Structures are given as C-alpha cells and as structure tokens.
Amino acid sequence: AQSVTQLDSHVSVSEGTPVLLRCNYSSSYSPSLFWYVQHPNKGLQLLLKYTSAATLVKGINGFEAEFKKSETSFHLTKPSAHMSDAAEYFCVVSVQDMRFGAGTRLTVKP
Amino acid sequence: DGGITQSPKYLFRKEGQNVTLSCEQNLNHDAMYWYRQDPGQGLRLIYYSQIVNDFQKGDIAEGYSVSREKKESFPLTVTSAQKNPTAFYLCASSIGSKKGNQPQHFGDGTRLSIL
C-alpha cells in the first residue's frame, strides 16, 4: 500500500521569494511520484514526474523536485515565486494506482 | 489539439434524479478514470477503465455507474442512491492500463450541485 502526506495545507510567500511545498510518501515498492497544479475550477496539470531516473527532476514553469529515498520525501521548489503560481498543488505517489495528497494551497503576495 | 473534454461545466441535480457527466478524449489513451474532489481533500477514485467494455470500481463507487462502449468516451452517471453528490468531478486518461509510471491527463471538471 502507498500513501502521501502534504505537510502544509496552505503556504503563503511574497512574489520573488522562494517556494517550498513539502511532500512525504510511504510505499512498499519503488514508487513513481508526481506533482500536479490545479487553478480554480480547472483540471490538474502535470508539473513534473519522478520515475527512478535522476533524483532531481525539473518541471515546467521553473519548478523542480528532489527525490530523497532516505527521507521518503519529494519536496517541490521554485527559486522565485510569480503571481501566476498561486494555485493548489498536489503530490501523488503511484505504484499500481495513484494516491493523491490533500493538496497545498499556494498564495503569492505582491 | 488533443485533450479531454468534460461537459457540462456546471450541473444541477434534483432529489431522486440520475444525472450523467460526459467525458471524451482524443488522446488515443487506453485507460480512463473518474475522480471526485471535495474541498480540502485530494482526489478520490470512483471508477476506472483499462480497456473498452471493461471497468473497475475505485474507492468510492457506491451511488455511481459508468460505461465504456467506445475508447474515446467514459460517461459517469450519478444515481439517486448517491446521497451526497455535491462535488467537483474530474475525468482523466493515461496511456497505460494503470501502470504506475504513466501520468494522467485531466479534463477541466464538472461541478455538480443539489437543487
């Protein structure tokens, strides 16, 4: 069985400052991990995925995530937040089927 | 341009009524999924289909039904047996049949409310 925990339900940053969204996972097997972004009343868009290749994964819009097996973490980062980054972010762990975290709402202040 | 189309965007259901949510994809994907999203929660799987004419229950299938007569289409019916249907419903598809490393592509959702 696998599960995922997003450690913060809400993160607020100022425009131009770094973003860190935290995700821990639990899995009996080597998982695939994903980050998705959801804007209001929209579907989910894939930001990036980890599938047992390089542990540092680069995604779209300047986001990246690092897979740390020893810490069972897959935190999402971005060096400089933009107003358009304000959205809900979901961490997902997958072995045979996908398990979604509860989401982290990112607010970006001007 | 390939993608997933969900309709309608907003839907209202009366007591005792069944309603059907449409999901169409032109990505040539084998697998399709229906999720329910409630505020402050992640997505929960209702039904999925790995191939035409076959589908499986997810974690919260009670009160819902699906069909998969065509590869492109995976409609979801919310029956009167679903006592709390108010939610945001998302349809998704993927290349593989539930292979763990295949990302899912999502439609823009249907918001269902009770009248």
* Beta carbon pairs, A and B, within 8 Å: 58
Using a CB-CB cut-off of 8 Å, the residues of chain B touching A97 are 45, 48, 98, 100
Model confidence at A55: pLDDT above 70: yes
Model confidence at B29: pLDDT above 70: yes
Q: Would you state the torsion angle of the CA atoms of residues B109, B34, B46, A97, taken in this order, to the nearest 10 degrees? A: -120
**Beta carbons of B108 and A51 less than 8 Å apart:** no
Predicted local distance difference test score (pLDDT) of residue B75: 98
Give B98's pLDDT tier (boundaries 50, 70, 90): low
Mean pLDDT for A62-90 is 96
SS3 letters across chain B: CCCEEEECCEEEECCCCCEEEEEEECCCCCEEEEEEECCCCCEEEEEEEEECCEEEECCCCCCEEECCCECCECCEEECCCCCCCCEEEEEEEECCCCCCCCCCEECCCEEEEEC
Predicted local distance difference test score (pLDDT) of residue B1: 63
Predicted local distance difference test score (pLDDT) of residue A67: 94
Q: Which of B95, B104, B111 to mutate to test the interface with A (most CBs of A within 10 A)?
A: B104
Predicted local distance difference test score (pLDDT) of residue B15: 83
Buried b (16+ CB within 10 A) or exposed e, B4-32: bebeeeebebeeeeebebbbbbeeebbbb
Question: What is the chain B residue with the closest CA to A6?
Answer: B42
- Distant-in-sequence, close-in-space partners of B45: CB < 8 Å, separation ≥ 6: A97, A98, B33, B34, B35, B58, B59, B60
Q: Please, is A18 exposed, middle or buried when counting C-beta atoms within 10 Å of its C-beta (0-12, 13-18, 19+)?
A: exposed
- Distant-in-sequence, close-in-space partners of B105: CB < 8 Å, separation ≥ 6: A46, B3, B4, B25, B27, B29, B92, B93, B94
Each residue's pLDDT tens digit, B47-69 = 999 999 999 999 999 999 999 99
Tokens 């059907």 label which residue? B20
Task: Give the up-direction half-sphere exposure of residue A9: CA atoms within 13 A in the CB hemisphere.
Answer: 5
Cβ of residue A96 closer than 8 Å to a chain B Cβ: yes
Question: Which residue in the set B92, B98, B109 is minimally distant from A41, CB to CB?
Answer: B109
Question: What is the chain B residue with the closest CA to A101?
Answer: B42
Tokens 């599960």 label which residue? A3
Question: Which residue in the set B90, B100, B103 is minimally distant from A43, CB to CB?
Answer: B90
